[in-house]
Amino acid sequence: MKIVLVGYMGSGKSSIGKKLAEVVKLPFMDLDSEIEKTEGIAVSEIFSQKGEIYFRNIENKILKKVLDQPDNFILATGGGTPCYGDSMDYILKKQGVVSIYLRTPLKVLVSRLMLEKDERPLLIHINTENELEDFIRKHLFERAFYYNQAAVTIDVVSESITETVAKIILKLF
């Protein structure tokens, strides 16, 4: 089984994905890392040098290449991955793939992302917590249609990574 984690940036896709992979004894893959390997530069550099549209096209191609591999794994996608091109349709229609939406409350996302906004290409221009909250709220509204198509939804509030992984395992196995 391939497990694809979707959700907004800061929802814990990478942290939860790594722990889940360890528990279920599957390899962990991060889509941004796969993109960086293919392109030879950091995601932030792709955004600044080539723009978001170029990035989204590459992201879609690499997502399909990764999902077409025969091996099973846990994949953490980028926050926007399911929302561009036919990415979410591809995830949903691919045999042996289970998608999981890590639904995280706005306030939790704001507190997490305020600490790391300088490392997030889409957030570099934001200066205050209120601006960040408005930005995330707008994005969540726009992206909810895609996120909510996932086969499984897990609410990520204030529990630990281990507790969230336990919730996922209970839903899947």
Q: Is 160 annotated as a binding residue?
A: no
Q: Is 112 annotated as a binding residue?
A: no
Q: Is 137 annotated as a binding residue?
A: no
Q: Is 17 annotated as a binding residue?
A: no
How far apart CA 16 and CA 22 sit, in angstroms, is 10
Q: Is 13 annotated as a binding residue?
A: yes
Q: Is 143 annotated as a binding residue?
A: yes
Q: Is 11 annotated as a binding residue?
A: yes
Decide if 93 contacts 86 (C-beta within 8 A): no
Q: Is 12 annotated as a binding residue?
A: yes
Known binding-site residue numbers for Mg(2+): 14
Known binding-site residue numbers: 10-15, 32, 56, 79, 120, 143
Known binding-site residue numbers for ATP: 10-15, 120
Known binding-site residue numbers for substrate: 32, 56, 79, 143
